[in-house]
Amino acid sequence: MSNAASTSSGGRGRPRLEPRRRKGASAAEEILDAAAELFTTRGYAGTSTRMIAEAVGIRQASLYHHFATKDDILAALLEQTVSAALARARELAAADGPAIDRLCELVRFDADQLASARWNLGALYLLPELGADRFAEFRSARSELAVTYEQLAAHALGRPDDPLQYLPLRLVESVINLRSDNAIGGRGRPGRAEIVDAIVAATRRIVGG
């Protein structure tokens, strides 16, 4: 999404306070990694740009060199959760082959990227701040993704008004709650691949009969 991307700069900014300690190939990526951790553990309202800068090991002024506001950081993180899935959805919507197979491929791709992301950013989807104009582009992208899910499912069902078409995306987004509940991986818990396989299988049973 261009608005989020336009707020970051390729410039170097001011020197960091201490050696690099975050994941990322650039200062902007380090800022996003730190913000993702803080937003998903402390909450968006409970996180300041000063806290993000300190987590990266840079001055707050250097953070503003890459992102003008905290909302811009959030917008860039939200884009990461939807851009790849939407691009894949567009490809699959235009592809040939049985709708159920294309739907299941989208489900697998989307569920896996939600499950494998370093931080559980999908948990930010319910933030009240996302109703602001600043996040209209994200809402539009997420809406297009949902419609593609529904169209593929309705095609597979053979009934455009079947309410079952709304379930595949909800199954995929169950990954967000599973991660919040620490129900993926760990002792006695199914791993990421098992969860993704289960969601794909459930989609095929529900939609494909």
Instruction: Provide the pLDDT for residue 3.
Output: 45
Burial class (CB within 10 angstroms; exposed 0-12, middle 13-18, buried 19+) of 145? buried
Instruction: Provide the pLDDT for residue 190.
Output: 94
Instruction: Provide the pLDDT for residue 181.
Output: 94
Residue ranges per structural domain of the chain: 2-71, 81-208
What CATH architecture does domain 2-71 belong to?
Answer: Orthogonal Bundle (1.10)
Query: What is the C-alpha to C-alpha distance for residues 122 and 144, in angstroms, rounded to an integer?
Result: 17
User: What confidence category does residue 7 fall into, taking pLDDT thresholds of 50, 70 and 90?
Assistant: very low
Instruction: Provide the pLDDT for residue 132.
Output: 97
Q: Does domain 81-208 have CATH number 3.40.50?
A: no
| More reliable by pLDDT, 126 or 15 | 126
Instruction: Provide the pLDDT for residue 209.
Output: 75
Residue 98 predicted with pLDDT over 50: yes
User: What confidence category does residue 115 fall into, taking pLDDT thresholds of 50, 70 and 90?
Assistant: very high
* DSSP-assigned states of every residue in 92-150: HHHS-S-HHHHHHHHHHHHHHHHHHSSS-GGGGGG-GGGGSGGGHHHHHHHHHHHHHHH
Q: Which has the closest alpha carbon to 83: 161, 137, 9, 19? A: 137
pLDDT mean over 128-153: 98
pLDDT mean over 104-120: 97
Instruction: Provide the pLDDT for residue 187.
Output: 83
Q: Comparing 2-71 with 81-208, is the CATH topology the same?
A: yes
pLDDT mean over 101-129: 97
Span 163-196, pLDDT tens digits: 999 999 999 999 999 999 999 988 889 999 999 9
Query: What is the C-alpha to C-alpha distance for residues 69 and 75, in angstroms, rounded to an integer?
Result: 10
Tell me the two tokens of residue 52: 């993000």
Residue 160 predicted with pLDDT over 60: yes
Residue 24 predicted with pLDDT over 70: no
Q: How many other β-carbons are positioned within 10 Å of the β-carbon of residue 22? A: 16
Span 26-77, pLDDT tens digits: 899 999 999 999 999 999 999 999 999 999 999 999 999 999 999 999 999 9
Which letter does DSSP use for residue 181 in this model?
T
Residue 11 predicted with pLDDT over 80: no
pLDDT mean over 134-146: 98
Which letter does DSSP use for residue 44 in this model?
S
Residue 20 predicted with pLDDT over 80: no
